[in-house]
Amino acid sequence: MKRLLSGNEAVARGAWTAGAVVGSGYPGTPSTEIMEIFARYPGVYAEWAPNEKVALDVAIGAAYAGRRAFATMKHVGLNVAADSLFYAAMTGIEAGLVIVSADDPSMHSSQNEQDNRQYAKFVRIPCIDPADSQEAHDFAIAAFDLSERFDTPVLLRLTTRVCHTSTPVEVSEQRFVSSDPIKYPRNVAKYVMVPANARRRHGVIEHRIQEISQYAETSPLNRMEIRSSQLGIITGGIAYQYAREVFPEASILKLGLVYPLPAALIRNFASMVERLIVLEELDPFIEHQVRLLGVELYRGKQTLDTPKGIFPIVGELNAQIVRKAAIEAGLIEGEMLQTSPSFPMELPQRPPVLCPGCPHRGAFFVLSKLKVPVNGDIGCYTLGLTEPLNAIHTCGCMGASIGVAHGAAVAGDQERHVAVIGDSTFFHTGIPALINVVYNRSNVITIIMDNRVTGMTGHQDNPGTGKTLQGRDTTEIDIENVVRALGFTYVKTLNGYDVEGIEKTLKEWMKISDPAVLITREECALLPEARAKYVPLEVVEEKCNGCTMCFRVGCPAISKSEKLDPRYQRPLAVIDPSLCTGCEICAQVCPRDAILFRNQVLDKQEIDQ
């Protein structure tokens, strides 16, 4: 049966077909949909974990217990899970264990564009790199088989273009059913990595990777496509699609198993072509390994030694970029082809901004007024950096805000540092950092912006929402109770729209030397229950004098009117009712009471009727 599936949907389907019964992940673009789709299949357990390390530990535990399991995450999530990845590679497993890691070339929604194929080589585990949805489906199944065959975790590495592109996929309605679960292993030498055992296991995994190298020589995951002998291309993943489009006559060695490489197969392929190149996205991962085999690669017109032969080492490839590089290298002739549609005019710039009605806006408005250094984190609240708020000064990775602020404080920085973090990120890696603040007694003020959901990745539940991934009611973790239990004395929860209360609290806490935590709590304005409460506000033109105070909250729903204040000749404010949610932040900051509050708008509407 054929279905049109995205790469993410295909991986979920493949995992289900392969008999995976446990899936755990942390949402992160471009991988998020995998676990959401997997959760809908019958006979599976799927969950959102607080972070990627926990997710991988859960999958490892299931695999130790003899159940096929997998963990999903975006590429940077594998950094969080690296400790677990390494010990799992050492111990091996009882049933198939697959780690799905989605790289983000060009950083469409990430802070870096690391190439996670490197992790496979670092850890000594197989890495499989699909080129389309059919391969994402088939390779997911193959990954579980490979895992059990060689007693190893397997890295299924995706990229954005594969994750989000939909292609027809041949799927089976049959699902692999494993034998009855084993008794939980009591194999101390294999599963307890004290030094004496770990030393033995290191030798085991080195021998194992050699065996997998032999398997790679004849693996169906790798294949040769023989056409012209003038040009041969070694490629894998999404780059295969660009190779087929730009070099339709070239012979191709298509690698699905990109680590370890099939040395004999590569040498055989090289002997069949006059010129040999490697076409891959991001790092020269295959290219370096091929060179180490002593296989000569064509480097075009380059005279200097560069990290990567012909194609860019930075950013996401496409057919146009590949074609341009090929022309410059003398591989093909011709002019640059326009492969994307041209537009008669430039489109207006649309920089990212906090949504209308975002409950984070009030706190950022106050922080902007206070002009304090603010250490930010990954999530919607990163957008507090944009004009006119300009309220974020650092942002590194998940959970970094609190630690960075603490570091500045204990280094003697005289300014009072404020760390901001979201609810999901608090559960992800914020709690240990907050423990460090209260334990080592810095004066950091932390604002936990709790919008009742994991917002930026598309409204996934988290330990604070009271719902699991599969929709079951569960214990709702109260953030304030957790913070108090950590030992904080100064803790307060305020409504995210309470501008006056936030400002008053922060100013009071600036006068004390203790660490403190403010929780600003209000549901994301894009949640259905929030949408049901929208009441667009109105500007009273007779009271507005164009003072610009409401513009400083940075709400997309407020703009300058064409009408001018007769005295100062300044544009009046105007509210777009199609965007306004009625959060009232603008009404709170207006010094002339020129913006009606929700109740005033409703009273006015009642009178008008």
Binding residues for [4Fe-4S] cluster: 544, 547, 550, 555, 580, 583, 586, 590
For the packed helices 133-150 and 7-17, what is the interaxial angle rounded to 10 degrees?
40
CA distance 329 to 323: 10
3-state secondary structure of 314: coil
DSSP secondary structure letters along 144-184: HHHHHHHTS-EEEEEEHHHHH-EEEEE--S----PPSPPPP
Nearest residue to 273 (alpha-carbon basis) of 332, 226, 309, 223: 226
Nearest residue to 56 (alpha-carbon basis) of 30, 33, 35: 35
φ/ψ bin of 469: left (φ > 0), alpha (ψ from -120 to 50), beta (otherwise)? alpha
DSSP 65: T
Q: Which residues contact 328 (CB under 8 A, 6 or more apart)?
A: 300, 301
CA distance 45 to 371: 47
Helix, strand, coil percent values for the chain (each to nearest 5): 35, 20, 45
Nearest residue to 526 (alpha-carbon basis) of 384, 382, 351, 357: 357
Nearest residue to 316 (alpha-carbon basis) of 148, 113, 21, 490: 113
Residue with tokens 């919008």: 451
Q: Which residues contact 297 (CB under 8 A, 6 or more apart)?
A: 276, 277, 278, 287, 290, 291, 309
3-state secondary structure of 606: helix
Q: Which run of H or E residues covers position 327?
A: helix 319-328
Residues constituting the chain: 609
Q: How far is CA 180 from CA 65, 68, 95, 183, in A?
A: 11, 12, 12, 9
For 241-262, b/e burial (b = at least 16 CB within 10 A) is: bbbbebbeebbbbbbbbbbbbb
